[in-house]
Amino acid sequence: MEQRDVAVVGDAGATAGAGRAGPVALRASRAKLRPLPLDAVSLDGGSLLGAWQEVNRDATLPTCMAHVEERGNLDNLRRVVGAAQAEFRGLPFADSDVYKTLEAAGWELQHGSRPELEEFIDAATRLLAAAQEDDGYLNSWFQGVHPDQKFAQFHWGHEMYCAGHLLQAAVAVSRTTGSDDLLGVATRLADLLVRRFGEGGQDAIDGHPEIETALVELYRQTDDDSYLRLAERFVELRGRGLLGDDRFGANYFQDHAPVREATEATGHAVRQLYFAAGVTDVYLEGGDPTLLTAMEALWENMFSQKTYVTGSHGSRHRDEAFGDPYELPPDRAYAETCAAIASFHWNWRMLLATGNGRYADEMERVLYNAVASGTSVEGDRFFYSNPLQLRDGHAGDDEDMPSGRLEWYRCPCCPPNLSRLVASLNAYMATSDEDGVQLHLLSAGEVAADLPGGRAALRVSSDYPWEETVSIVVDSDHEWTLALRVPAWCDGASLTIAGDTVDTSPGADGYIRVRRAWRPGTEVGLTVPMPPRVLVAHPRVDAVRGCVAWARGPLVYCLEEHDQSPGVALEDIRVAAGAAPRAVAASGLPGVPVVLVGEGSVQRVADGVLYANGAIATEGDGSVDVTAIPYFRWANRDPAPMRVWIPAS
Amino acid sequence: MEQRDVAVVGDAGATAGAGRAGPVALRASRAKLRPLPLDAVSLDGGSLLGAWQEVNRDATLPTCMAHVEERGNLDNLRRVVGAAQAEFRGLPFADSDVYKTLEAAGWELQHGSRPELEEFIDAATRLLAAAQEDDGYLNSWFQGVHPDQKFAQFHWGHEMYCAGHLLQAAVAVSRTTGSDDLLGVATRLADLLVRRFGEGGQDAIDGHPEIETALVELYRQTDDDSYLRLAERFVELRGRGLLGDDRFGANYFQDHAPVREATEATGHAVRQLYFAAGVTDVYLEGGDPTLLTAMEALWENMFSQKTYVTGSHGSRHRDEAFGDPYELPPDRAYAETCAAIASFHWNWRMLLATGNGRYADEMERVLYNAVASGTSVEGDRFFYSNPLQLRDGHAGDDEDMPSGRLEWYRCPCCPPNLSRLVASLNAYMATSDEDGVQLHLLSAGEVAADLPGGRAALRVSSDYPWEETVSIVVDSDHEWTLALRVPAWCDGASLTIAGDTVDTSPGADGYIRVRRAWRPGTEVGLTVPMPPRVLVAHPRVDAVRGCVAWARGPLVYCLEEHDQSPGVALEDIRVAAGAAPRAVAASGLPGVPVVLVGEGSVQRVADGVLYANGAIATEGDGSVDVTAIPYFRWANRDPAPMRVWIPAS
């Protein structure tokens, strides 16, 4: 594969500045903010996020590439062209793992040539092109196992879900490399969908949303608005019962009510969040304001009643679903890694649509906690569900809720999803608008934007999220506005410019704005104080009544039994409700520079009675130190009890 | 069907006294206690349990009979003989609903001729005999839909599960009517199982236990010990991996460890409890004491870590399974009605095996709370899962957790299971041994036993569980011991004999024993004080931390929003932790003679924040009356929020 140096295919017009577009390369667009090209934003390798990109490059992505080979995903496609004889392996949507891995490889190539990635993409592209039928159809499950069932299994077939991931992979590869080979495969399949399901065609939707957001990205990349129209049509057709009844109910598929009425988060969490991202994409390019209104109402519902403190979603294992309002059990949190990734994607689109920092706050929370929890510190083991508590005595031999991260899963949707997000993570650091630059993720790195008045560049130094100071050297010589997000968790942020304290505070949208005629080398210092915080939940969150959670900066912390005093069972620890822990520079644990240490007590229960009249006596051990590590770093040692929510005495 | 007046088929030797045997008609037996014949124990129609038997007769059983016709269960069998052409309907184990309904009809016939029941049994028996193959095979799913898969789908096929319910139905019909027609069908099928899976035959077990306990009952009824040997073999073969791997893991089927090592309650709750009943049956007749030791260890584990305060089991919807230790969420309690029935059955067998009142305590708790919750006050609507909390905003249109009882279910295992238990409920009231009579359920009714010294009869008057006095008129003229169970929840039980207070207290096994030479007409008065109790859970039961549950006598109470002050949301109610409510004679609600009323407060949360630093402010409304109804009577009005565990202020 030859890398072209120039631009992107199509006209990524609303990406600010020239260069390779990243995810969501807006076109005409209702957006308030515009993404920056991939080569205009980079994360410093010394930062948590930058280092994560390197781990993804060196471990997660290679792991995914190895597994789609070893687990049969590629062989499933080879079967279609007669190049493999084995039985189909994996789940019906096994192709999607190949596509997400391709997308990850595509975004990774933003950093320049990597022969092993290019070879993987080239070989897979040739295989896909060979497997694709003349009319554009491509799906190894239906072609290879149920050829008579093509486009006949919308509720569980995942046909357009897989197609969507192919489209996104092709867009990524095209944007970073300029090669349109995979894009050709994708557009042939998308054209088939347009012919069959477009205006005047069959009324149908896929049981698993994903095609909607993918079609909009394909539209952005190709400027062919039949893809946007089809995405709009899929959005409008949802909620009209086309999927029929199912044992999990129509809510599971978000097919219970039309999009403008479906403003309670419900059903399968990943489906709900992918659909929301797709709807927001359709709003961004299509412009129907009633869609944005519906998404804002859905967001309010979801984030005020149905979101874990880590930012994750999904309270039920049975159907991987949202629960009732305030039903947020920590031990049985489903909190699928894919749902966390989907929430990040949706919030990014809402941020672009509105410019409101609450969406960037959610991106930050879910990224540093729920998404990051999905992978081991080495990047080669994964959680699918991300519980907020692991009980003593947990039977951890079940893939559904293992006691530690696994190498791979029977349903391995999460690892390649992680990889495609992390490979493109720099894209989410900052945006621009006519007025200037907005810094959303406070990571060390570099940002450049072509503004109406000329170029603006930022060099950000910080050990965020471990440290509370963010230093920015602005390299520019004209007037524009620098907007710095002050996270909602932060009280008392302060700003200096060229060493002088500036009296400012964030606006209602969460950003401190500095407008001035910049001089090259101007130093801006943002301090976001990070005293450890003691969080409580709404009283209706029954599952954590009487408990507190510790947090510092954007990070939610947790107790793992490893770090407690010898002989102390995690389940017997109580902390004082009102007392905040202190932040302590840690040395021992890889990837954990700061722990929280607070005062607690031990309350043991003497006998085995499960229920009693009045009270169950406990005996205490006096005061003990209680040590918490960042939630996302748990389960990097031998399995041990863990809890985010700590009973308060 | 002609009812014979005489005795039972086979020699129900260890049932004390002549007459029609009920469930668990012990033979040689290791039992400490012996069941009484059905016609020696009756429940007073004015008592809660007696009235329930009447509701079962008049509503529940007719509902079951109607549904196995309307829902296709009988047609599935007719298909096999060419008498129906419709597609197979229902789940693969649809036959078992027919069998459980037949068993219920059989037990109901203990009270004498009922033409509509006899016709139902006769017609079903003729149909089953016609559908049965020459070798004894009988299962409408495999015969009618997958004839090539007979005895090839042990993990999910439910073949021997269905067979077990046929055996139990045939035993019931035979015991109450003397007719052996259905027993002939059952023994032909059981003989096939013996030939195929008996000693020297194929090593196999069914994915769903049930055949074990059924084979032991068939042995008791026929004296053919090949059935007992096969039951022993199935018990011994379990836990050796014969079922292979499955997505829910081997624990789901209790196939993860051999019976003597599998002493932690795990996997599918009904499977676990049916298996435990079967193992205990094998112990009772086979006599291997290591089986009882294993069952005692399993019981300790289950009832000290994995049982709801209502006596129900199963913490997870995903696999209808036991959870980790202390994982007992009230909102997502699975608490299947069948599991509660199974616990009743298992505890009865443990009671017979040991004479220990703790098992009778569990029978009482699960019967009055978890089992009774399974049916509406009219007996014609049912819960499958029995949550201990219904949230405000619950999406209740899902069979998995409806907001109220449904007429029937896609998986309708519970209603006919309820019916067969309630139809035979009198059998569980009392037992006898060489020494005398033991009264376990303190219901109004009559008990008679043939003791070595002659006949002993008790006439029990009581409005238990609503009132705390139990009056017993003993009709006997020889010396024996009357043992009266004093429930573990009761402090300060007192006894009078012929009006004189007797200074006595219950033994370690939970029984007050009175040995004397009885005179006809002696009055015994037992008082079991029932002050309302405030229950708390073990601190590791995170899901109800900071909450209390109210109980009175054997009944757990709950708050339903209907009964609270106008305008007060159930979720905002707090009660004082230490303050007990008072019992109040209620008038308004059908089937609820006593409610509990306590003092509480209202704490509203002003805004929609889900998590906050330090505290979330609430505003109170001062003191309000809080009214609780018996848990088992909830959901007999329009759907409304409900909770057993009440947050304490």
User: Complex ipTM, two decimals?
Assistant: 0.94
- Kindly report the pTM of this predicted structure: 0.95
Q: Specify the range with the lowest mean pLDDT, choosing from A525-534, B237-246, B519-528.
A: B237-246
Residue B18: per-residue pLDDT = 57
Closest residue by Cα to residue A530 from A553, A557, A506: A553
Residues of B in contact with A616 (CB under 8 A): 536-539
Q: Specify whether the CB–CB gap between A405 and A386 falls below 8 A.
A: no
Residue B606 contacts A, CB cutoff 8 Å: no
CATH match of A34-390+422-428 with 1.10.730: no
Residue A603: per-residue pLDDT = 93
Q: Which amino acid is at B98?
A: V
Whether residues A305 and B610 touch (CB distance < 8 A) is answered with yes
- Average the pLDDT over B605-625 and give the result: 87
- Average the pLDDT over A24-36 and give the result: 90
- Average the pLDDT over B150-174 and give the result: 97
Residue B191: per-residue pLDDT = 98
In chain A, where the domains are located = 34-390+422-428, 431-527, 533-647
- Average the pLDDT over B449-457 and give the result: 96
Residue B606: per-residue pLDDT = 75
Secondary structure string (H, E, C) spanning B587-634: CCCCCCCEEEEEEEEEEEECCCCCEEECCCCEEEEEEEEEEEEEHHHC
Which of the 8 DSSP states describes residue B94?
A: T
* B253-279 pLDDT per residue, tens: 999 999 999 999 999 999 999 999 999
Residue A538 contacts B, CB cutoff 8 Å: yes
Alpha carbon distance B247, B156 (integer Å): 12
- State phi, psi for B195 to the nearest 5 degrees: -65, -40
Q: Which amino acid is at B105?
A: A
Q: Would the pLDDT of B8 be above 80?
A: no
Alpha carbon distance B39, B6 (integer Å): 12
Closest residue by Cα to residue A173 from A123, A135, A130: A123
Q: Specify whether the CB–CB gap between A146 and A138 falls below 8 A.
A: no
CATH number of B34-428: 1.50.10
CATH architecture for residues B432-527: Sandwich (2.60)
Whether B70 is catalytic is no
Residue A307 contacts B, CB cutoff 8 Å: yes
Residue B13: per-residue pLDDT = 40
Average pLDDT, chain A: 95
pLDDT tier, A18 (very low <50, low <70, confident <90, very high otherwise): low
Average pLDDT, chain B: 95
Residue B515: per-residue pLDDT = 96
Q: Specify whether the CB–CB gap between A173 and A121 falls below 8 A.
A: yes
* A48-62 pLDDT per residue, tens: 999 999 999 999 999
* B165-187 pLDDT per residue, tens: 999 999 999 999 999 999 999 99
Q: Specify whether the CB–CB gap between B167 and B214 falls below 8 A.
A: yes
pLDDT tier, B3 (very low <50, low <70, confident <90, very high otherwise): very low
* B80-117 pLDDT per residue, tens: 999 999 999 999 999 999 999 999 999 999 999 999 99
Which of the 8 DSSP states describes residue B426?
A: G
Whether residues A545 and B545 touch (CB distance < 8 A) is answered with yes
- Average the pLDDT over B428-433 and give the result: 98
Q: What percent of chain A has pLDDT over 90?
A: 91
CATH architecture for residues A431-527: Sandwich (2.60)
Residue A608: per-residue pLDDT = 75
Which residues 400-439 of B are in CB contact (within 8 Å) with A? 400, 410
Residue the block writes with tokens 């194929």: B202
Length of chain B: 649
pLDDT tier, A246 (very low <50, low <70, confident <90, very high otherwise): confident
Whether residues B535 and A326 touch (CB distance < 8 A) is answered with no
pLDDT tier, A607 (very low <50, low <70, confident <90, very high otherwise): low
Q: Would the pLDDT of B55 be above 90?
A: yes
Residue B83 contacts A, CB cutoff 8 Å: no
pLDDT tier, A587 (very low <50, low <70, confident <90, very high otherwise): confident
Q: Which of B103, B210, B320, B446 is catalytic?
A: B320
List beta partners, residue A35: A431
Nearest CA in chain A to B331: A327
Query: DSSP 3-state assignment of A293?
Result: helix
Which residues 225-264 of B are in CB contact (within 8 Å) with A? 247-249, 251
Q: Would the pLDDT of B123 be above 50?
A: yes
Residue A533: per-residue pLDDT = 98
Query: Nearest-CA distance from A585 to chain B in Å?
Result: 23
Q: Would the pLDDT of B206 be above 50?
A: yes
Q: Count the helix, strand and coil residues of chain B and give each as a percent rounded to the nearest 5.
A: 35, 20, 45
Q: Would the pLDDT of B5 be above 50?
A: no
Q: Would you please indicate which residues of A are annotated as catalytic (active-site) residues?
A: 320, 413
List beta partners, residue B643: B389, B559
Q: Are strands B436-439 and B430-433 parallel, antiparallel or unpaired?
A: antiparallel
Residue A19: per-residue pLDDT = 75
Residue B394 contacts A, CB cutoff 8 Å: yes
Residue B588 contacts A, CB cutoff 8 Å: no
> From start to end of A518-588, where are the E strands?
522-527, 533-537, 547-552, 555-560, 573-575, 582-585
Whether residues A325 and B391 touch (CB distance < 8 A) is answered with yes
> From start to end of A255-401, where are the E strands?
389-390
Please list, in sequence order, all residues whose beta carbon lies within 8 angstroms of the beta carbon of residue B62, skipping any fewer than 6 positions away. Answer: none
Q: Which amino acid is at B380?
A: D
Residues of B in contact with A618 (CB under 8 A): 539
Nearest beta carbon to residue B610 from set A538, A615, A616: A538
Q: Would the pLDDT of A220 be above 90?
A: yes
Q: Would the pLDDT of A586 be above 90?
A: no
Residues of B in contact with A248 (CB under 8 A): 398
- Average the pLDDT over A188-214 and give the result: 98
Residue A306: per-residue pLDDT = 98
Alpha carbon distance B518, B538 (integer Å): 45
Q: Which of B162, B413, B547, B558 is catalytic?
A: B413
Q: Would the pLDDT of A465 be above 80?
A: yes
Query: DSSP 3-state assignment of A135?
Result: coil
> From start to end of B429-572, where are the E strands?
430-433, 436-439, 445-451, 454-462, 469-475, 479-485, 494-497, 500-502, 511-517, 522-527, 533-537, 547-552, 555-560
